[in-house]
Amino acid sequence: MLRYPVKLERDSNGTILVSFPDVPEAHTFGDDREEALARAVDALETALMGYMEDRRAIPPPSVSRRVQHVAVPALTEAKLALYSLMRTGRITKTELAGRLNWHLPQVDRLLNLRHASRLDQLEAAFRVLGKHLSVQIMD
């Protein structure tokens, strides 16, 4: 599970500002702590999509037990893992589409963090890259 440390600060106008030390591009706010944390996942995903668009490495979350954390959704985590695997293996979207016998827009959607991709599609992508997708249920 990808859990990023989050920093919450009260702004001069009373809102709660949210930032991520590991992803400095991710910022949001809320009228209170609950609203700020609810918006935090969207801000984090938006920033990570920017990393993907710029073909940059996804920063790993730092380990800190003393601060609040925000977890990315499981589907987002799987998509980030696929992107990272492709990046380290220097596998282009076009090459992945060819291996899967898919059209390029299908691969684009598979890597789009806003698209609700099907798990079987992610499994197929990992399989052609020599990996296996596993689901773990935790308390």
Which residue type, as a one-letter code, is found at position 15?
A: T
Question: Considering only CA atoms, which of 72, 80, 85, 91 is closest in space to residue 126?
Answer: 85
pLDDT value, residue 1: 83
Tens digit of each residue's pLDDT, the chain (139 residues): 899 999 999 999 989 999 999 999 999 999 999 999 999 999 999 999 999 999 999 999 998 778 889 999 999 999 999 999 999 999 999 999 999 999 999 999 999 999 999 999 999 999 999 999 998 888 8
| 122, 132 Cβ separation under 8 angstroms | no
pLDDT value, residue 110: 97
pLDDT value, residue 65: 77
For 25: left if phi > 0, alpha if psi spans -120 to 50, otherwise beta; the answer is alpha
Q: What is the dihedral of CA 8, 10, 14, 19, to 10 degrees?
A: -40
pLDDT value, residue 64: 78
Question: Considering only CA atoms, which of 139, 18, 6 is closest in space to residue 66?
Answer: 6
